[in-house]
Amino acid sequence: MDIGAVLAKYRDKPGGLIEAYHAIQKELNYIPREAVLEAARVFGVSEAQAYGVATFYSYLSVEKRGKYIIRMCESAPCHVAGADEVLKALEDTLGIKVGQTTPDGKFTLELTECVGQCQETPVITINSVPYPNMSPDKIASVLAQCT
């Protein structure tokens, strides 16, 4: 992926730094170091500020992540609907803890706050696609869709 080319698309957009980060992350699932440094140059902000922005937003990551980012919503409505059980099942199935990536680089497991699908709790998202009404027994079939 040509980071410079992606950033260039947003260069003339006022305040386009975050949009550019989203675009990079859409391709790579994270924002590599060189992208932060290049973004600072392109958008005329300091490297420290570009890094400060990248680390402020919980959906942006400066750490390498897997192909599929699974987020378990743990906000109150999902919490009472059994988010803890679903999370435990995810950890057991994937063999990783929250914040980790599977050794094959396929899955990263994260916690998230509300994803706005509270009509069918608990909810997980995989690469931002919501999977509502989750329960531990559904996990295997949902993960099987990730190829």
Residue 143 C-beta: closest distance to another protein, Å: 21
Applying CB under 8 A, the residues found at the interface with another protein are 14-19, 21-22, 33, 36-37, 40, 43, 45-53, 55-60, 62, 74-77, 79-81, 112-121, 125, 128-129
**E strand or H helix at 99, and its extent?**
none
Q: Which is nearer to another protein, 50 or 94 (CB)?
A: 50
Q: Which is nearer to another protein, 59 or 88 (CB)?
A: 59
How far from 45 is each of 33, 39, 75, 126, CA to CA, in Å? 15, 8, 34, 32
Interatomic CA distance for residues 110 and 35, integer angstroms: 22
Residue 37 C-beta: closest distance to another protein, Å: 7
Residue 62 C-beta: closest distance to another protein, Å: 8
6 contacts: CB under 8 Å, gap ≥ 6: 20, 23, 24, 27
15: three-class secondary structure by DSSP: coil
Q: Which is nearer to another protein, 12 or 104 (CB)?
A: 12
Q: Which is nearer to another protein, 14 or 103 (CB)?
A: 14
Interatomic CA distance for residues 127 and 100, integer angstroms: 15
Residue 56 C-beta: closest distance to another protein, Å: 4
